[in-house]
Structure 1
């Protein structure tokens, strides 16, 4: 009797677990595919195939491709922002309270860990759409706030794009570093050198930054 009484709960837990797994697989596939080829280049069928789930489950769990895209963007940006904030605390301690150096180091390391965030921006930035506005208003603005808070400077469009562009572009387009300079941009050695080069550039100008 006890076994029979527990059976419905056991089935319910199993169903919940399957649903959670399905949502996770679809989100992981969405982050990878949307960041790689963009919203318009991905079909619902391709997302379900990549996730390894049955047809129809995307709409069942998310309602639409657009709703899944928004959740994927939110997840990618949250992961990146969380990593950067945690890294900033560590770097600030390592660098004796130097906020500029800690911000640059944290942003570069976070971007290398989560380049999908940058790819989302690049994929949607040049096309006028609700998706572009969603990223700008919900996420880019918050990252600009984070830079302002970490640097102790007023929120500035110039600071944001100067820092973000210099620090991140190599992770959005790593092929150039690999083919032209024969460097692996996601290696520890490259990331360390990149951090120190950007710190020197922003603190002292071109004369102090590495040219190699």
Structure 2
């Protein structure tokens, strides 16, 4: 019995997703300037013209990659909303564990942010104004403010500063995995280390 061919639309979507994944990895490890569309095309095994067809310019591909990155985050790490029946301090702790595990699973997220933060570019401005600030205002900052009000999280630290402190302690071990391995013989990516890291972040916040 002949095998049915994969529908053209599905193949197209799979190719597009593969290109986005490769682009995200390249932008996060090498930086925007060092990446070329031809290089991404070679890694994806497609014609350079196909990337132009799907995305247009390198700038447009970068923006699509960033949007994909944050949409993936929103699907994988869902925060409990204050004032809803799903909200509780236990739900907040589960959310923080989920966030730490996301950082371990997708270190390219923090790497891309560091690449752009080090350059203070128009790309960073676009990302901050279009994606980061609206999501912080709608979800993360209200959650931090509610938890701070309930349990006095880390005294009177300004919510935005506290947000970035928590982000740092959740992400940094997965940015410095090689250093931790060579300096201390620690495998930050093993399950035992990730679980210990989750509990350490919670201890920091809810001490």
Rounded to whole Å, the distance in 1 between the matches of 2:7 and 2:96 is: 45
Q: How many residues align?
A: 187
- Structure 1: give runs of 5+ residues left out of the alignment: 1-9, 90-95, 205-212
Pick the structure with greater CA Rg: 1
Rounded to whole Å, the distance in 2 between the matches of 1:62 and 1:103 is: 34
Are the equivalent residues in 1 in contact too, given 2:141–2:160 (CA < 8 A)?
no
How far did 1:175 drift? 1.5
How far did 1:33 drift? 0.8
**How do residues 63-102 of structure 1 correspond to structure 2 at under 5 angstroms?**
63-85=56-78, 97-102=89-94
1:188 aligned to which of 174, 188, 191: 191
- Residue equivalent to 2:205: 202
Are the equivalent residues in 1 in contact too, given 2:89–2:147 (CA < 8 A)?
no
- Residue equivalent to 1:5: none
- Residue equivalent to 2:176: 173
**How do residues 151-170 of structure 1 correspond to structure 2 at under 5 angstroms?**
151=144, 152-153=146-147, 156-170=159-173
How far did 1:153 drift? 4.8
Are the equivalent residues in 1 in contact too, given 2:96–2:198 (CA < 8 A)?
yes
Question: CA-to-partner distance for each residue in 1:22-48, whole Å, 9 max, x for gaps?
Answer: 312211211111111111110111010
- Greater RCO, 1 or 2 (C-alpha within 8 Å, sep 6+): 2
Question: CA-to-partner distance for each residue in 1:113-141, whole Å, 9 max, x for gaps?
Answer: 22221111111002132211122223332
- Structure 2: give runs of 5+ residues left out of the alignment: 82-87, 149-157
Task: Give the structure-2-normalised TM-score.
Answer: 0.79
Runs of 4+ in 1 over 6 A off after TM superposition: none
**How do residues 48-63 of structure 1 correspond to structure 2 at under 5 angstroms?**
48-63=41-56
Rounded to whole Å, the distance in 1 between the matches of 2:188 and 2:135 is: 23
Task: Give the structure-1-normalised TM-score.
Answer: 0.77
Please tell me the root mean square deviation across aligned C-alpha atoms, in Å.
2.6
Rounded to whole Å, the distance in 2 between the matches of 1:59 and 1:190 is: 42
The change in CA–CA distance for 1:179 and 1:139 in structure 2 (over 3 A counts) is farther
- Residue equivalent to 1:207: none
- Residue equivalent to 1:46: 39
How far did 1:59 drift? 0.8
- Residue equivalent to 2:85: none
The change in CA–CA distance for 1:14 and 1:195 in structure 2 (over 3 A counts) is closer
Asked if residue 116 in structure 1 is aligned to residue 119 in structure 2, the reply is: no
Are the equivalent residues in 2 in contact too, given 1:84–1:107 (CA < 8 A)?
yes
- Residue equivalent to 2:128: 136
Are the equivalent residues in 2 in contact too, given 1:76–1:114 (CA < 8 A)?
no
Are the equivalent residues in 2 in contact too, given 1:125–1:132 (CA < 8 A)?
yes
Are the equivalent residues in 2 in contact too, given 1:35–1:116 (CA < 8 A)?
yes
